[in-house]
Amino acid sequence: MFTRLSALVVVIFAFVAPATAEAGGPKHGGILKIYHRETPPSLSIHEEATFSVNVPAMALYNNLVVYDQHKPQNSMGTIVPDLADSWSVSSDNLALTFKLHQGVKWHDGQPFTSKDVKCTFDLLQGKGQDKFRKNPRKDLFNNISEVTTNGDFEVTLHLKRSQPSLIAMLASGYTPIYSCHVPPAQMRTHPIGTGPFKFVEFKQNESIKLARNENYWKKGLPYLDGIEFTIISNRATAVLAFVAGKVDMTFPTEMTKALIADIKKQDPTAVCEIGPINVSTNLIVNRENPPFNNIELRKAMALALDRKAFIDIIYQGAGDVGGTLLPPPEGVWGMPPEMLKTIPGYGEVQKDREQARAIMTKLGYGPNNSLKIKVSTRNLATYRDPAVVLIDQLKTIYIDAELDPVESSQWFAKVARNDYSVGLNLTGNGIDDPDQAFYENYACGSERNYTHYCNKELEALFDKQSVETDVEKRRKMVWDIDKKLQEDVARPILMHARSGTCWKPYVKNMTIMNNSGYNGYRFEDLWLDR
Amino acid sequence: MGTYLIRRFFLMLLTLFGISVLIFTMLRLVPGNIADIVFNAAGMIDVAEKAKLEKELGLDRPIPVQYIEWISGLARGDLGYSYVSEKPAIKEILPRIPITAKLAGLALLFAVTFGVPLGVISAVRQNTMLDYVLRVVSLSGLSLPSFWLGLLVLMAFVTYFGSIPIYTDPPKGFWNTLWLFSIPAAAVGFRSSALVMRLTRSSMLEVLRQDYIRTARAKGAPARTVNYRHALRNALLPVVTVIGIEAAFLMGGLIVTETVFNIPGVARFLVEAIRWRDYPIVQNLVMFIAVVAVSINFLIDLLYAVLDPRIRYAS
């Protein structure tokens, strides 16, 4: 009897023990090692516009609200409190009030108060005494007329007009709260935040080191003792370093489909995810100079595009066809496939090209009289490679293009001067939200509206969708605007890229966002099971 | 000899002055400055903010004024501030010099240790199987691109040992340092040793055909004495020149090796600084490399005089 009971106990233990170990809670300790693809310009998120900064720096700060770090798709429904315990909107939708968490301290021990929130928005709007060296997202907060405080723990953002998506911008990794007492120059070299990790050191070309914030206001967090980013600019070396276990994780969304296959072959235990990053490759045409001031010619160019070929050649099939906004299912606002197919240039390639050739013939071009142009692009592989495919596709409609690689530092200056005829550009979106995409890239006079597309009627629709609180209604309005933008050849979208991230199986709680590459790097509840 | 030295020293100073003007001018001829890069990274150009930044960094002043300010600062030991890290340039540059010096020194040691003896052996055993093998090896050394060889070495380490000899943290202790630097040094040194070997071989072959070698042999001097004492010493002149050039090159030209093995040395830092148009870093770093190159050349000139008395008498 006793033996049978013992055997039963052993059997039960054999089943239960691994499950218990597996289900064991997060472990404290350990240093997470990630390779960084380059030396970031600084760690002051507000002054930079590359996720090379967000990845190492987001863990230093907190936002008022933040996207849930474990829901891959960012949406209004995934926004959770961060420094703000709660928020409310006034009945006229013109005031957004945040109740702030009490007892939060900056890394230097100073208390966090509502004044810091006000200082942050003053800095962003250029109202304060201190100024940023550069302020790439100041336009996003143009709708805030005033920031007022009520005591140390309540702050209100007063809006010029209703803007439901403002909260989405506040939840982005691009919108941390800065302190009043640390000047912007220091934030670039030795940032002070309220986040789960404290800045330790930043050595150009070497490493960025963060250490656990022992006094983090979220009790029990973070789990890690620190995070070390080793800067490995050569991707082949970086991949080998990951395979050899020198780093625990690759730089987020830096792995191509082919590289992931290679990693899995060498280290089958590696966990790899591939998904969209909300970066579109697009065609920019200078509509102000002839012959491209002719809408017919621009339409013909849009009809010549074979988007699937771009995706197959450049990303080995890992990409999506879409409009301005990231296509579903990962994208929240992108047009559905059946709607896309109704847009000229998104249908059957051969038919579209025949139509394009007919337009070109009407305009006086043909096989013996091709239009000679230059396709300008940044002299980086991610820009150059699709530009080469574009040149090949334009040949099919009697456009004989030559590649004009532009030194990287000169690219935006050249585009801003209108010193190009046809160009190929990449556009990254910090958040999957129509306000950011439309106002930034298509509003009349916007600095990033490189093609100077200006349609006042459509801009009125930008405002209309922006104030709409009903998500489904807004989505339909957004689809119509996006369709119109594609039909107007405002900035034809060639593709939306997908790329991947790999980590070792002992790295737990890692979630890669799949509709933005800028918002998922707080790392506060990430832990190492080893 | 004293006059020779003084003349060479002043010539060295003049060269450095010329280099400083050249670096400064060329850097400003390259399109774009830090302000362009800073705003380019943001995907926008704000003309007013850009002008403000240029003014803040003194880039709006006339180029001759900027040059005089740099040179006078350099004379005072003030190298200015890095535009990117906003730290003193000296603090950014100094820690990287020993890293590259170790790598270059080991690579040079590898080159001389293998290149010179194998070159002598190849010449002495001309047209034997050993000579053919050594020539093939040396040709391979010259033909294999460093980045390819470096990556191959890394892949081999990952595949066979499950580890990767790249720089992620400063090595602790002598043996760790030696281990970390010896692999990239061997990858670089392989090419340098091939060059030294081929040059030693051809130079030796030329000397071995000289009358005085024949005389030494006729007088019954042992082969070892003839080869190493009489021939090698005279064959070394062009080899020393090449070693000097290699040494100067290695201080600033190891970009590929430093990138593949992730070594945070001078060359990688210089390329990054050029990308950012970080003038204080680029100017001072290139100037440092120039001082090293010119000094090594000066030392080689002195060594010529030691190796060949005729040069001493002529001067």
Helix (H), strand (E), coil (C) string for A104-162: CECCCCCECCHHHHHHHHHHHCCCCCCCCCCCCCHHHHCCEEEEEECCCCEEEEEECCC
Sign of CA dihedral B206, B207, B208, B214: positive
Residue A525's pLDDT band, with cuts at 50, 70 and 90, is very high
When pLDDT is averaged across residues A63-87 and rounded to a whole number, the result is 97
Shortest CA distance from B95: residue in chain A: A203
pLDDT of A17 > 60? The answer is: no
Residue A407: the pLDDT is 82
Shortest CA distance from B150: residue in chain A: A237
The token pair that represents A485 in the structure block? 């933008």
Residue A361: phi and psi, rounded to 5, are -65, -45
Q: How far apart are the first and last CA of chain B?
A: 6
| Cβ(A67)–Cβ(A79) below 8 Å | yes
When pLDDT is averaged across residues A448-471 and rounded to a whole number, the result is 94
Residue A70: phi and psi, rounded to 5, are -120, 15
When pLDDT is averaged across residues B251-264 and rounded to a whole number, the result is 91
How many residues are recorded in chain A? 530
When pLDDT is averaged across residues B179-200 and rounded to a whole number, the result is 93
Residue A114's pLDDT band, with cuts at 50, 70 and 90, is very high
Residue A13: the pLDDT is 42
| Other Cβ atoms within 10 Å of B9 Cβ, number | 11
Q: Which residues of chain A make contact with B264, given a CB cutoff of 8 A?
A: 203, 205-206, 231
When pLDDT is averaged across residues B189-206 and rounded to a whole number, the result is 94
SS (H, E, C) A192-228: CCCCCEEEEEEECCCEEEEEECCCCCCCCCCCCCEEE
Residue B44's pLDDT band, with cuts at 50, 70 and 90, is confident
Residue A8: the pLDDT is 43
Measured CA to CA, the distance from residue B32 to residue A409 in angstroms comes to 6
Measured CA to CA, the distance from residue A297 to residue A283 in angstroms comes to 14
The token pair that represents A359 in the structure block? 């337009």
Residue A15: the pLDDT is 40
The alpha carbon of residue B208 and the mean position of all alpha carbons in its chain are separated, in whole angstroms, by: 31
Of A4 and A58, more confident: A58
pLDDT of B265 > 60? The answer is: yes
* pLDDT tens track for B224-235: 899 888 899 889
* pLDDT tens track for B281-305: 999 999 999 999 999 888 888 888 7
Nearest to A412 among B44, B85, B168 (CB): B44
Residue B103's pLDDT band, with cuts at 50, 70 and 90, is very high
| Other Cβ atoms within 10 Å of B202 Cβ, number | 16
Residue A203 pairs in a beta bridge with A207
Chain A closest-CA separation from residue B173 CA (Å): 19
* pLDDT tens track for A196-232: 999 999 999 899 999 999 999 999 999 999 999 999 9
A240: amino acid identity, one letter: L
Note whether A410 contacts B31, CB cutoff 8 Å.
yes
Q: Give the single-character DSSP code of A112.
A: P
pLDDT of A10 > 70? The answer is: no
A500: amino acid identity, one letter: G
Note whether A447 contacts B260, CB cutoff 8 Å.
no
The token pair that represents B279 in the structure block? 């003038």
A449: left (phi over 0), alpha (psi -120 to 50) or beta: beta
Chain A residues contacting B via beta carbons under 8 Å: 33, 39, 41-42, 48-50, 133-136, 185, 188-189, 202-207, 230-234, 236-237, 240-241, 243-247, 266, 407-413, 416, 447-448
pLDDT of B313 > 60? The answer is: no
B18 closest CA partner among B305, B312, B290: B290
When pLDDT is averaged across residues A455-480 and rounded to a whole number, the result is 96
Note whether A204 contacts B86, CB cutoff 8 Å.
no
Strands A207-212 and A154-159: unpaired
* pLDDT tens track for A298-322: 999 999 999 999 999 999 999 999 9
Sign of CA dihedral A429, A434, A437, A439: negative
B168, B183, B274, B277, best to mutate vs chain A, most A CBs in 10 Å? B168
B39, B44, B164, best to mutate vs chain A, most A CBs in 10 Å? B44
Chain B residues contacting A via beta carbons under 8 Å: 31-32, 36-46, 49, 53, 82, 84-87, 92, 151, 154-155, 157-158, 162-164, 166, 168-169, 259-262, 264, 268-269, 272, 275-277
Strands A271-285 and A493-503: antiparallel
Chain A closest-CA separation from residue B106 CA (Å): 21
Residue B1: the pLDDT is 65
Instruction: Give me chain A's average pLDDT, please.
Output: 92
Of A13 and A288, more confident: A288
Residue B314: the pLDDT is 58
Helix axes of B266-275 and B233-252: crossing angle, nearest 10 degrees: 40
Q: Is the ipTM of this complex over 0.90?
A: no
The token pair that represents A261 in the structure block? 């296959």
**Percentage of residues in chain A with pLDDT exceeding 70?**
95
The token pair that represents A190 in the structure block? 């030795």
The token pair that represents B189 in the structure block? 């040194």
Measured CA to CA, the distance from residue A280 to residue A495 in angstroms comes to 6
The radius of gyration of chain A from alpha carbons, rounded to an integer in Å, stands at 25
Helix (H, G, I), strand (E, B) or coil at A278: strand
**Percentage of residues in chain B with pLDDT exceeding 70?**
98
CA distances from residue A368 to A361, A391, A399, A421 in whole angstroms, order as listed: 11, 17, 11, 22
Helix (H, G, I), strand (E, B) or coil at B149: helix
pLDDT of A22 > 50? The answer is: no
Measured CA to CA, the distance from residue A300 to residue A354 in angstroms comes to 10
Chain A closest-CA separation from residue B45 CA (Å): 7
Burial A175-214 (b: 16+ CB within 10 A, else e): bbbbbbebebeebbeebbbbbbbbbeebbbbbbbbbbbbe
pLDDT of A169 > 90? The answer is: yes
